[in-house]
């Protein structure tokens, strides 16, 4: 199978494990210090990879500043918002469904910002995807949702949407590995500052935390992020963003297999509707 066909499937599988990693790791660490250490370690790893691949590291001040801007929205706002909201009690399922609204926002804004055109088939696919996500995670909604969690997850949604559009508009010409490393370096510095300013610097290095920490760095911060940026560089913003619709259903299946969380008939129906919607968006 060609990389262009395998990459979207692999991305969804890898990205969906982020909520599982958060569930394992957050009980043992404050959210911002957790993320700060994670992305700073990932930055070092990517700089080493770039050097090993003999890929340019000195990419110029303009490329570095653009990378830091993209990283601020993608890692500080998106990841920071997701982790903080979950740490404040927002159900992971609700966090997943809110951030899965990103494809709708990206598709609408991409028409204006990037000049992309939406076909009727893609529009129907986006609406089906959104419907499927709501079907899967509808039972997870709870009326007692903390205000701080709602604000944080809204920031996460804005962050992921902005990062996607920025990557398409200004990030496609930046060397992938080094550019991502600078994204992490910039966002890690901001997250560390927030952690120190709020006093949230506690980490308990238990076995479960180390497992979650290593998984989130290797699989998410290196593997999934590089895949996401590569997909954005080679495909339309709308098509790539539609993949995020598949993340909550995939997470629901993983939660069933790993934690015994049941998926009811409505959930399986939603998974099917979501898959159909994504297929309509990316098959044009």
Output the CA–CA distances (angstroms, integers) from residue 17 to 21, 116, 166, 196, 249, in the order listed. 6, 30, 25, 28, 11
- State yes or no: pLDDT of 1 exceeds 60: no
Q: What is the pLDDT of residue 213?
A: 92
Summarised one tens digit per residue, pLDDT across range 58-115 is 889 999 999 999 999 999 999 999 889 888 877 766 677 777 777 777 777 766 666 6
**Tens digit of each residue's pLDDT (9 = 90 or more) over 243-264:** 777 777 777 777 777 766 666 6
- Going by C-beta distance under 8 Å and a sequence separation of 6 or more, which residues neighbour residue 206? 28
Percent share of the chain, pLDDT over 70: 83
The pLDDT score that the predictor gives to residue 85 is 86
pLDDT tens-place string over residues 208-236: 899 989 999 998 888 888 888 888 777 76
- pLDDT greater than 60 at residue 147: yes
271 is written with which tokens?
């998974």
């Amino acid at each position: 199978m060609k990389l262009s066909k395998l990459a979207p499937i692999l991305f969804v599988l890898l990205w969906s494990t982020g909520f599982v990693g958060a569930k394992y790791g957050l009980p043992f660490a404050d959210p911002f210090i957790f993320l700060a250490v994670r992305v700073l370690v990932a930055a070092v790893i990517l700089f080493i990879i770039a050097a090993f691949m003999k890929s340019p590291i000195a990419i110029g001040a303009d490329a570095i500043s653009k990378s830091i801007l993209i990283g601020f929205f993608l890692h500080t706002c998106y990841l920071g918002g997701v982790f903080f909201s979950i740490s404040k009690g927002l159900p992971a399922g609700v966090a997943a469904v809110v951030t899965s609204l990103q494809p709708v926002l990206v598709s609408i804004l991409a028409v204006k910002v990037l000049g992309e055109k939406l076909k009727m088939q893609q529009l129907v696919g986006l609406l089906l995807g959104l419907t499927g996500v709501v079907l899967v995670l509808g039972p997870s909604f709870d009326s007692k949702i903390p205000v701080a969690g709602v604000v944080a997850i809204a920031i996460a949604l804005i962050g992921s949407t902005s990062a996607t559009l920025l990557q398409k508009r200004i990030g496609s010409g930046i060397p992938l590995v080094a550019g991502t490393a600078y994204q992490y370096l910039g966002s890690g510095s901001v997250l560390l500052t927030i952690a120190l300013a709020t006093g949230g610097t506690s980490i308990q290095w238990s076995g479960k935390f180390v497992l979650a920490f290593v998984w989130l760095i290797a699989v998410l911060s290196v593997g999934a992020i590089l895949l996401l940026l590569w997909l954005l560089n080679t495909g339309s913003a709308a098509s790539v963003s539609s993949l995020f619709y598949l993340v909550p259903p995939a997470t629901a299946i993983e939660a069933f297999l790993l934690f015994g969380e049941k998926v009811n008939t409505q959930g399986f129906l939603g998974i099917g509707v979501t898959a159909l919607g994504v297929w309509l968006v990316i098959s044009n």
